[in-house]
Structure 1
Amino acid sequence: MMRNWLFAPLFLYALMLQGCIKDAPLNPEADIETVVVDPHLLTGNIFVDQVNRTITLNLTNEAYESGISPVLILSKGASVKPASGTLIKFDADQDVVYDVTSESGENTKRYTVKVVNIGHWDFAFENWKSHSTDKYEYPVDDDGLQLWSSGNAGVALSGVPARSDAYPTRSTTDGYLGTKAAELVTIKGTPLSELIGIRLYAGSLFLGNFNASQAMLNPLKAIEFGVPYKGLPKSFTGYYKYSAGPDFINKAGQVQPGVKDKCSIYAVLFNGPDRLNATNIMTSDQVIAMAELRDGSDKANFTRFDIPFVYKQQAVISKNLMMAIVTSSSAEGDQYRGAIGSRLVVDSLSIVPLL
């Protein structure tokens, strides 16, 4: 009798505890966290852009022609169509997309696959697309693929209006050849950006990716330079014109009397497959050769440049080469120094290979 009396409270407590324990809520996340592809099919690292929901693949010619079967690592419990491991093939007229549904079923995301498979190194900037939400422009090749990036995605986070002319990098009909060129303008920062000490944004255009997830915490590391390159380059050529804005300001927003803004245009060959970023593009041991425009002063009319690549002595050249082309309307724009109103137009850029 005493035994039953002792266990009765424990039994009631167990019932009460069981009633308080509820099943854990289903996961609402619907992300493709990682993409795994056989390294022999790649010429560079895979980049998953969670902000713009794109997956950039650097593929060999054989992989592009035959298709690949990526393994997708998803948020816990999420599902995806087509399924992870499914063979996907590429068609210039139709995007490859992955539709992800969260474990809870309440959220879905669509990721678009971008393929980098460069067969030529002449860039005319004739074709442009607009971001579906933020409306900034970016150049694409004849197949509609994006090779070039800019800081526009980061500027979009600072609260600029959703129209192309509000951003520092856009297309222009003021080109040297054809109907369009790339226009880069240093613009004033927004009230939101000024809260974190960014008083201007330089126009920038570069081969590589802008990792928007790093834009606020590590803005210089968000700029990821380089796409795969085969062979060795001889020179970097193109056309540009430039006009500096009236007042050069430092990072604190103070006008620097006697200081004049200048543009920046250069190309860098380096050992991959890891990309360089704005903190180490000029100093990394991965760098093999560089071609840099030394004269960044005003040019009222289009001016041609033809700059030879200067190779580092005793540089070790790997099989995974990367090429970065970088242009900016303010040479010190990566440090948020420059002149608001500085304008650079670039057209018909080209990497000339060694014969």
Structure 2
Amino acid sequence: MRTHKIVLLPGDGIGPEITEATTPILEFVSAKYDFNIEFKTKLIGGSAIEAFDNPLPDETLQACKSSDAVLLAAIGNPKFDELPRESRPESGLLKLRSGLNLFANIRPVKIFPSLISASTLKPEIVEKVDLIVVRELTGGIYFGKPKGRISSEEGERAFNTMSYSSVEIDRIAKIAFELAKDRKGKVCSIDKANVLDVSQLWRDRVNEIQLAFRGIELTHQYVDNAAMQLVRKPDQFDVILTGNLFGDIISDEAAMITGSIGMLPSASLSSDGPGMFEPVHGSAPDIANKNLANPIAMILSASMMLRIALKEFKAAQDIEDAIDNVLAQGYRTKDLASDNSNPLGCKEMGKKILENLSLIK
């Protein structure tokens, strides 16, 4: 029997609630498809500060490093805002990303048929959208040097450096092409090669990497055109590959096509270590412990973990189908509720998805 070692990081706010709604679902599909999941629950963020006076205890980092994947719920609590920046919950997350060398951010954007009306775009524009944004996470203009603010004859001057090496480009491109192999087989690389030297290198390296993935169709778009195409015809995209700055913008634009950024999962991956999977939304401390949270993004993050990190494709598909069925039946948590929906709490939504899983053959 296959065994997968998973570290659970419930974190803060609604994190423990959505984790509790997710683990029975993982246990169900593992039993159905004859694989085993070994869970280890560790502290991070505010909960770790309270227990260890450290947002990322060493035992948490070491457990994550020795796992097959990390499933993070949410971190953050305003009661720690007065602490020095390096001691706040968010610093624990940054240190974990650094410790695991998570350079690739993966954000899927998929339309659930029953939620098409939530999008601000016309139904016929969004109904077939199913794409993934692959964003380089640790390079580019956010990390390039030199950077800073100086005095000059023209007054104060600020500058940043957009910089990428061939190694950084190659490793993120390989992830995009590998993901495309399990999807529609199309990668669109987004750059600004008509203006930027760094984008010219980006395009050259992506073309070179594509030679090892002959079955994958590769296209290129300038970032301004890509932003327009995402609104004009988003279903043309399968896997979008781009750098840190452009990915920061494009991924949020793509996410809002669905009408609800709070429904979306994400992943951060390294070259050879465990990946981390987490919902896009925050810890929402104002609704914590009130059974009001929406666990679907967390459950979808678990599905993404099964698909990308563990290669348990059938289990992942069952979870996604069960969520689609529940939404089609009109069940909603408070954040998605409408006049015609059936409202459920966090626990009840998890149970309803589990109930629908048991009906899938």
- TM-score where L is the length of structure 1: 0.26
* Greater fraction strand: 1
More helix by proportion, 1 or 2? 2
Q: Taking CA–CA contacts closer than 8 Å with sequence separation of 6 or more, which of the two structures ends up with the larger relative contact order?
A: 2
Q: TM-score, normalised by structure 2?
A: 0.26
